Structure 1
């Protein structure tokens, strides 16, 4: 009996409970560092299965781990559950229509309610199987907060949370199925708040006595815009005003804050670019006779692929097959693809190994495993990167939304409770749980994955992008 055959019936039995979990987290969307409702629900399920829970990992109230088993290797499953601001949407509605029962205005525009539920389902199924069969091995589920532009796992990694893990597995809902790191490379990133302080004054009577913090913030943005010509094409810099100095134009603004996110292909490249952004902020403060306080909010490394794990996961995925969508799922998805550009839909189908004019709107196949030398660059980022530099890590993408659905949109939120999304949870849990069982029962496979990881990190050691001693935002004092 294969690992897939051993675990599929158990996961099918458990799945409805975890579909309800994902729906409950969708119903109560909470932003980074504030995911208390999701954490409570995840911990209750883990404890009901006999897992031992450790709370407040790295001093973060919404970070925890749950472990079960003894002896053998330690296999980890990474879960997430944070939402995004301003994306409230009625479930199933193919027009932008906020959910009338949503009191926060937030929404799961990246499917993390599914991600956490699927990873916990995988951990519970694997732990149950080991217990039933009397097999040695430890299973650990990590409840990871604040993936969205806050690097929750990076702070957990800096606190040593993953140091004893033998291998880690996770997944992400997407518009197509496949082994994640063979399909894309992610960027390292850092994010920081630049708080300028000036001197207030009457803008009409005595402007010469004022020193505008808003002028400084705007000059910083101008300087960074000039920097864009002189940075690698693959790098990215984004910003948003979080304090524009108030609402009275007749007052010279004494304060202003701009929030920056800097991305590049590796941590050293990102750090060099980030330092240039900081220098521009210093220059803006100098030009305006103001001061600037730079507060790093978080950072994460790029993902380190592991070919041994990719091949093992892909073999499991091939045995499982694609997500088993039915005609009703396809028809529901079509209501969303109607609003997307046809050329975008064709491009996604082609990338998934389908004919460009295939009528299906959900990916239900398995593409070939891509060659490692042809990994395309994804300009996004993930704090899974830091885990991957500490222990061998692999991810699967499981199709959960219609072709062409952009992440971080109301369209993604609208599809998050549909039957197709639930099928993605079950599919991903089956693949990563079965791959975890392979790693436990085949010591040669785990040893090969760890040997590859050790060889890579011996040449290019992990550089933690979180400065030593920097705590996650919820663990800091108000002044820090």
Structure 2
């Protein structure tokens, strides 16, 4: 195919925006704010979009770090979205030695899968499409959503439940990864997450009256088991019962994380509160429900033996995705016209420094071969299916799937650089260092932004393609499990932004991550 003049204009506009947005990206990357706590990042997006002429709703869906930006009127309505949450525990400076960003704790957040670049690519595409429409005229509406907390699949299920996607004609989902491709039939799985809160409300209903005399000394009294025991038992009980949750077929995961506690300075009193998050993903709704049932039974059992009350708070409930071949074909043709991501001499020189830093022999071609080629959606689908049981049509988890139940949606990737000798390791510090190095990461999001802009304009201009995409969407939605047609969260759902998620804080000690400010943990004993 050949780009229309309007698409070509938008592609050039992304190039023109690149120097400015490279600095923008560096700011987002340096903030490295984690899920539900992306305050500075969201503000940077909102201010830039308003300066560009978008109307912006801050705090959309009741989420303080979300936003909904729109520009234009009439015509097809096409959406993209930005993400900007980092991963706790993976701070890494953009240098050829392992170490956090200056001033941050070594377990502070960092960008492992480049949500920083994801968001800037979407921003570039939205601004370029808007400017092209502005310059050439005609109807069309551009939406850009700010979607926080992707690491817990947090915001998109909330936006969907509250009707933000209902009027869209198409949605474009973008993510930096290790290849330049799009998804075909394989989508992401269901992802559900809850927080159990154990509270020891009654302080001392424990022990015999005989031993409650003050002469014994209050420190020697038998204390109630309390919330810490409940947390510990919930973790171990769930690990014991994992194999009883559902049949051993298909790929699935169940993981836990401890939220912040506040009872570390009193050793003789029962811990009053503990909070434990469970997150699970699988291919089928029934599997998700069965895992939920076992978790609830475990929580009730643990509460009964630790003298606690237990509550369950939903974090998210997402649906699997609906493929759309018509929109995917159009986008991949646009990506083919643009060509794959490529990396210049400066990026390669930095990669050689990283190879030396991790003890590897520098190579002439430091990056994964797949980083700089195109891979068709069908080939991507085939390679994923090699690792799945025949009946499984989804894997992994990402809440972009919520868009696909409200409008035709395409999911595509452009490659960020990976050291070929390390392989596809999203968490290795050397690969993460390149996420903040402009010469290495900018080609990724620039290509993503150009693809988004070109495809958004095709949605607006190509009536036949959009009609085919909508017909396919209607058919797939009509054939789907009826339990999935509507959002799995209620319209009045309140996002759990008030829970004690990790964050940066400002105190008299200064600006710090919620971790010890010292690296002196005492004597290492193991």
Task: Bin the TM-score by the shorter chain.
Answer: 0.7 to 0.9
SS in 2 for 1:474: coil
1:465 Cα shift? 2.8
The separation in 1 between residues aligned to 2:463 and 2:285, in whole angstroms, is 32
Tell me if 1:210 matches 2:224. Answer: yes
Partners of 1:475 and 1:205 lie apart in 2 by 37
Alpha-carbon RMSD across the aligned residues, in angstroms, is 2.9
- Alpha-carbon distance in 2 for matches of 1:224, 1:366: 43
Cα 1:330–1:292, aligned 2, differ >3 Å: closer, same or farther? Answer: same
CA distance in 2, matches of 1:117, 1:219: 43
TM-score, normalised relative to structure 1: 0.87
Matched, 1:397 2:397: no
> Number of matched residues?
460
Query: Partners of 2:406 and 2:318 in 1: how far apart?
Result: 13
User: 2:295 matched to 1:277?
Assistant: yes
Conserved? CA contact 1:301–1:386, under 8 Å: yes
**Alignment-derived partner of residue 434 in structure 2:** 415
Structure 2: distance between partners of 1:159 and 1:330: 46
Counterpart CA distance in 2 for 1:101 and 1:30 is 14
Are residue 69 (structure 1) and residue 92 (structure 2) matched? no
Structure 2 residues without counterparts, runs of 5 or longer: 205-216, 389-393, 500-526
Give the structure 2 partner of residue 85 of structure 1: 88
Q: Could you tell me how far 1:165 is from its partner in structure 2?
A: 0.7
C-alpha contact (below 8 Å) 1:401/1:412 kept by paired residues: yes
Deviation of the 1:161 alpha carbon = 1.0
Correspondence for 1:30 among 29, 33, 38: 33
Correspondence for 1:191: 193
State the partner residue of 2:258.
Answer: 241
Offset at 1:308? Answer: 1.5
Alpha carbons of structure 1 residues 54 and 297: separation in structure 2 relative to 1, 3 Å: same
Instruction: Give the aligned partner of residue 138 of structure 2.
Output: 135
Is the 1:337–1:405 Cα contact (8 Å) retained in structure 2? no
**Cα distance in structure 2, aligned partners of 1:97 and 1:382:** 28
Aligned to 1:13: 16
In structure 1, the residue matched to 2:304 is: 286
* Higher alpha-carbon deviation: 396-405 or 209-218: 209-218
Contact 1:182 1:375 in 2 (8 A): no
Q: Which residue of 2 aligns with 1:456?
A: 476
Bigger drift between 298-307 and 375-384 goes to 375-384
Q: Which residue number in structure 2 is paired with residue 368 of structure 1? A: 376
Out of 392, 395, 402, the residue aligned to residue 386 of structure 1 is 402
Query: Corresponding residue for 1:353?
Result: none
Partners of 1:415 and 1:259 in 2: how far apart?
31
Q: Which whole-Å CA distance do the structure 2 matches of 1:183 and 1:287 have between them?
A: 47
Q: What pairs with 1:310-349 in structure 2 (closer than 5 Å)?
A: 310-336=328-354
Q: 8 Å contact 1:183–1:375 — kept in the other structure? A: no
Deviation of 1:106 (Å): 2.7
Structure 1's unaligned 5+ residue stretches are 343-356
CA contact under 8 A between 1:82 and 1:147: conserved in structure 2? yes
Structure 1 residues 251, 203: closer, same or farther in 2, change over 3 A?
Answer: farther
